[in-house]
Structure formats: structure tokens, C-alpha cells
Chains A and B, each alone.
Chain A
Amino acid sequence: MSVIEIMFWFLSVLALGAAVMVVASKSPVYSILFLILTFFAISGHYILLNAQFLAIVNIIVYAGAIMVLFLFVVMLMNLNAESEPHQKNKWLLYIGGISGGSLLLVMVAALKKVAATNQLVQMNNGEVGLIKNLGIKLFTDYVFPFEISSVLFLSAMIGAVVISKKEG
């Protein structure tokens, strides 16, 4: 195995293992810490794919800002296993299982079309992930979706301000 393959397997195992631990760990604080670890592993994958900008933005936005707020809220509420209400509705379990299973089915169906190659993943080719090329792409080919998503963010911001004004 080459160095890149070893790194790919290491990061994959880390990402999947940490993701399982997010669901499995009892304390919500540990769940969040494992989620942060998952984000780091995914950022590692981005770097292997030569998408440095995406990797660092993933860390700044998700690990650095959103997860800090998650941790903030969970620490303030001091959740633990004893205070959590026991879920009695069996139907919720079945519905959750069915919808999760159908999502898995859709993903497997989508992956079947991909041509099977011997290579695990195409590593380190393509320059579009570098910040200069990404910026040019975003502001020429994809300028309309880019602007639409900025309108979406703006409306979310205004919504947040309105909600906080109503409560205060």
C-alpha cells in the first residue's frame, strides 16, 4: 500500500468510527466531541483530494464555529442520561428504521452506476479545489446559485433577528 492509501484508510476508519461514536456515546458532550473528530477526518479527505480551501473552511465553519455553539448549548443545559425522557412510542422506531433504510437503498442505487475501478479514489489530481480556481468557477460558471444561496443566508439572518426581538 502506498502512503496515500494508508492515509485514506486511516481517515476513513477514523471518520466512520467517530460517526458511530456520536450516536453511541451516552453523554451529549462526548457526542459533540466525536462529531468534531469526524469533521477533522473529513477535512483530511478534502486535503487528500487537493481541495485545501474546502478543508480549511470545513474546519473554520463547522468545527470552529457551529460546533462551539452546539457545545455551548449542551453545556448550559447539562443534559445527561437520567434527565432524558424515555422514548415509549414504538412506532417512531419503526418509522425511523424504514426511512433510514430507504435512504441507504437510494445511496446504494446511486453508487451502482459509478464505473468500478481498481482505484479507491482519485487522489490529488484536479486543480479546482485550490482557492484561486474555485473563486473563478464560483463567480463565472456558478454565479447564479452562489447569489441565490447568499439570499438564503440573508433571509435566515433576518429571521434570527426577528425571533430574538420577539422574545426580548
Chain B
Amino acid sequence: MLLSIGLPLIIEKLVLIVVVVMSSLVIAMYATFAERKVAAIMQDRRGPNRAGPFGLLQPLADGLKLFFKEEIIPNLSSKLLFILGPCLAMLTAMMTGAVIPWGDKVHFFGRDISLQIADVNIGILYVFGVVSLGVYGIMIGSWASNNKFSLMGGLRAASQIISYELAMGIALIALLMTTGTLSLKEIVQQQQEHWYSWNIIKQPLGFLIFLICAFAECNRTPFDLPEAENELIGGYHTEYSSMKLGFFLFAEYINMFLSSSVMVSLFFGGYDIPFVNDASLAESIGTNWVALIHTAVFLFKAACFLFLFMWVRWTIPRFRYDQLMNLGWKILIPLALINMLATGAFILLQQNNWHF
């Protein structure tokens, strides 16, 4: 029954929400630091190393700098929408975390606490819905800036995200046909048995399409045309300064982390520890320790994806605009459709005991 919930559940979920939001923010903060360090290593430099030991306090210094900058709102802009833009960008970036299973469960105070904020039965569609709303922050912010270059950036972002959403959705359909459920928790649990039951083995092409589309949805290189600095000054955030600019930049890193988490739970077994039988491990060291290891494994997998995002950024140059559209509409969508049809035919044959 809806809304007939007890106080302990509310407290438990509140604590979980605070922890997830806080840790996403901290991870995104250190993702900016990691990005600069990775760039430095690839370009044979040292990278930030002044603030704190090994430069570890650099993200704090960056944030502090952004807070102390002067806040400028253009005179001829609509103020409300100008402020709403970065807020929406941040909000939609954070919302995905609600359905991701960060671990199995922990046992505290005589209660089994699931390490997932909401196990809704439309889980993956929720992620898809939030992703499709992500473009509003950029569009509203860019329009409210009342600047040609900002508007161009916003329009580029909108057309790019809509184009790649289609391929992403069709790739997801193929995955859902193999899993038979929309709940992220169940998808992860199906992948627990063996290391070869991970969905990447069943849907390699689907994963590739999903990965490319995730890069496009996060506006990361090679798809960072909305903020192409040599064509559009700063793109959609040209007019922004201070922490509002910081929010736009920061939302990109949160998006990166959360789309890495979605990819890990959909294709790479979520919190599954490879080559280890989790049930017997839980018996020998207890549920809580296993949950801790699960979360650590999950974060490690997500960190690998974050590194991939950065690696690609400093290796591959930006697409031209017509190349971007051709890749989306003429290559990815037909590939995704073929993948979907092949998966469907395979499942039908399997149900029919391999007779035509």
C-alpha cells in the first residue's frame, strides 16, 4: 500500500539519500581532480600538486575560488530562468542515483536495510526519463543568457541528446529482452551466479551502443560540441560566472559518475565480486562486511569507467557536426535495430528448443 510506511523506514531512506547524495558529490569533486591528473600524465606534465599532499586539496581550492568570484546576471536576460538553468542541471544529474543498487543489504539494529533508495519496478525507465530531462537545464540556461553563442550551444545540446537517446533506448530494449525485468535490483541479481552471466557477454553490441550514447548524453569529448570553445566561445555557459558556472561544470562530472554506475549495474554485474561465491562469503565474514566489499567493488568498477571517460577525452578529437549526426542516425540506430531483432530471434529460437 502506498504511503502506509513506518518511521524507521523513513529514517533509513533519509540516511541513505543523504549518504548517496554526499558521496556522489565527493566522488564528482575528486573526478575533476582525477581528470586534471590524467590529462597531466597523458601530456607528460605533473598536474596540480600544490594544494595539500599530492595536490589532494585542489578540488576544495577550485570550489572556493568559484564561490568567491563575482556573480554576474546579464541585464537583458530573464533572471528566473537564468538561475533555474544550473539548478535544473544539478537536480537532474543527482536524480539518477535513487534507483541504483549500491550493494545488496546491511544488517543494523535488527533490520535488513537494502542499499538502494527506491526499488521501483520501472527502474531502468526512470533512469531513461531522468536522462531525457537532463537537457532542460542546458537549454533553459542557454536561452536565458540572451547570447547567440549560448543559444547555439543549447540547440546543439538538445539536438544531440535527442538523436542519441533513440539509439540508447533501442539498445536498452535488447538488454531488457534478455533480462525480462525493468528493476535494476533484479537485473543485478541475475548477473550474480557466474562471471559469464554478466550482461556484457550476452549483449556486447548493445553495450557498445549504450557506451557511445552515454558519452553523447554527458556532452563529453568526442561529443562536446555544445561547449566547443573554438567555435562557440564557451557554448551554453558563456554568460555564466561564479558558482552557477561551477554547477554546470560539476553536473557534467556527476552525470559521468552516475552513467558509469548505470553501465556497471546493467552490463558488468553491478556489485558482483567476480570469481567469488557471495553467499558462502557472507556466511564466513557476515552480511555487513560483504556489503562493504560489494560497495567497494561497485565503486571500483565505476572508477574504471570514469577513467575510460577521461582517457577518451584526452585521446580522441571532437567530431564535426555532420559526422555527429551521421553517426547517430545512420550508424547507431540501424545497428541498434539489428541488435534488437537478432536478440529477439535468438530468444524465440531458444524458447522453441532451437527448431524453426
Interface residues of A (CB under 8 A from B): 3-4, 27, 29, 33, 36, 48, 50, 52-53, 56-57, 59-60, 63-65, 68-69, 71-72, 75-76, 123-124, 130-131
Pick from A57, A69, A75, A130: contact of B143, CB below 8 A. A75
Query: Contacts A63-B133, A69-B162; is A56 near B122 (CB within 8 Å)?
Result: yes
How far is B154's CA from A57's CA once the two chains are assembled, in angstroms?
Answer: 24
Please tell me if the beta carbons of A60 and B132 are within 8 angstroms of each other in the complex: yes
Residues of chain A within 8 A of B78, CB atoms compared: 27
Interface: B264 (CB within 8 A): no
Pick from A4, A52, A63, A71: contact of B158, CB below 8 A. A71
Interface residues of B (CB under 8 A from A): 1-3, 78, 81, 120-122, 125-126, 128-129, 132-133, 135-136, 139-140, 143, 151, 154-155, 158-159, 161-162, 165, 182
How far is B182's CA from A75's CA once the two chains are assembled, in angstroms?
Answer: 36
How far is B125's CA from A57's CA once the two chains are assembled, in angstroms?
Answer: 8
Given A124-B1, A130-B121: 12 more A-B contacts, CB < 8 Å? A29-B143, A52-B120, A56-B129, A59-B132, A60-B129, A64-B133, A64-B165, A68-B136, A68-B161, A71-B143, A72-B139, A76-B155
Shortest beta-carbon distance from A126 to chain B in Å = 13
How far is B2's CA from A54's CA once the two chains are assembled, in angstroms?
Answer: 17
Residues of chain A within 8 A of B136, CB atoms compared: 36, 68, 71
Please tell me if the beta carbons of B126 and A56 are within 8 angstroms of each other in the complex: yes
Please tell me if the beta carbons of A65 and B159 are within 8 angstroms of each other in the complex: no
Closest B residue by C-beta to A130:
B121
Pick from A27, A63, A68: contact of B162, CB below 8 A. A68
Please tell me if the beta carbons of A75 and B139 are within 8 angstroms of each other in the complex: yes
Closest B residue by C-beta to A72:
B158
How far is B126's CA from A55's CA once the two chains are assembled, in angstroms?
Answer: 10
How far is B139's CA from A64's CA once the two chains are assembled, in angstroms?
Answer: 12
